[in-house]
Amino acid sequence: MAKIEARLEELGITLPAAPAPAANYVPFVQSGNLLYVSGQISNGPDGLILGRLGASMDADEGATAARFCGLALIAQAKAALGDLDRVTRVVKLTGFVNCTPDFTEQPKVVNGCSDLMVEVFGDAGRHARAAVGAPSLPLGVGVEIEAIFEVE
C-alpha cells in the first residue's frame, strides 16, 4: 500500500469522491511540478456546510468546515495524480471565510485544513498560507480553500 494511503487508513480518513466543477473551470491544473487545485467548498457527509462565521457559525464549526475543504483538496490531488505519494510538498493554501465584518478568527478557521495537511503529509504538509474574510461565498458555504501542491 502506498505511504499516504496507509497514513489515511491509519488516521481513519476516507476521502470523498473528487467534486465535479460547479461552473466553467477545471478542478486542477498541473504546470511543471506544481499542481494547482481549484477552490473546494465546505461540503460534509450531510451536504454543504452553510453559514457565516460570526453569525450562524463559530470558529470551531468553521474549522470543521475547513477540514472538509481539505479532504476535497486531497481527493482532487488524488484524482489528478493517481498516487498521493507523488505529492512532495503542500506549498500553499488560500482560505476564504464567509464572515461578518467584525469576525477576526479566520486563521483559526483555516487551521482546520492546515492541521489536516500536516496530519496526512507530515512535514511535507507544512505550507505557506493566507486566511481571508469574505462577505459571501458560493452557495452560502462557510469556507472555501484552494491549494498548490509540489509533485514529482
pLDDT digit string (tens) for 123-152? 999 999 999 999 999 999 999 999 999 999
Q: Is residue 9 assigned to a domain?
A: no
Residue 107, sorted as left (phi over 0), alpha (psi -120 to 50) or beta, turns out to be: alpha
The band of 22, judged by pLDDT with boundaries at 50, 70 and 90, is confident
Q: Is residue 18 part of a domain?
A: no
- Alpha-carbon distances of 79 from 51, 62, 119, rounded to whole Å: 28, 26, 20
Domain that holds residue 120: 26-151
- To the question of pTM greater than 0.85 for the whole model, the response is yes
Q: Domains in the chain: how many in total?
A: 1
pLDDT at 27: 98
pLDDT digits (tens, 9 = 90+) for 54-113: 999 999 999 999 999 999 999 999 999 999 999 999 999 999 999 999 999 999 999 999
